[in-house]
Amino acid sequence: LDPTTVHPVLEPYLFAYEQFRAAPGFVAERFEEPFAHPLGFAGTPDAAGPLFGVRAVIDLKIVATLDPSYGVQLAAYRMLLEENGYAAKKRYLVQLTDDGGFHLEECRDPLDEAEFRAALFVFQRRMKRNGGRP
């Protein structure tokens, strides 16, 4: 990325991402790669790589507050990565702020994956019952 091509409104977020990468020494081994899972879902994790010495899936957010549902999203991303040969042990949200800072939050709820699987099941059942419409 050529930083001179970034719109001024987005510059603080780019700076925040660079600060995040520098602080814990994060290096993305996977970045914005689309994946599919045999359970019938697909997605594009923002990034994956070692963070604090442990492989992790990272989701970058530009939001005012972090929502617990993001942990469920990261559980799905972790499943996608694992199915495609990348075992991420941890899940992190990186909230990028408009002042060039960031907030790092680990998603630790062990029920996030079960919640995602349940929601996927309900969605797929509804699609089947409704002839392919949600």
Residues above pLDDT 70, as percent of the chain: 100
Tell me the mean pLDDT in the region 38-53: 96
> With bands split at pLDDT 50, 70 and 90, how would you rate the model's confidence at 23?
confident
Average pLDDT, the chain: 95
* Helix 112-129 / helix 69-83 crossing angle, nearest 10 deg: 80
Task: Give strand ranges (E) for 30-88.
Answer: 30-31, 35-37, 41-43, 47-51, 54-61
pTM of the predicted model as reported, rounded to 2 decimal places: 0.91
Tell me the mean pLDDT in the region 45-57: 96
Tell me the mean pLDDT in the region 32-48: 97
Give the span between the Cα atoms of 7 and 79, in whole angstroms. Answer: 34
| Residue 134 pLDDT exceeds 80 | no
Tell me the mean pLDDT in the region 104-122: 97
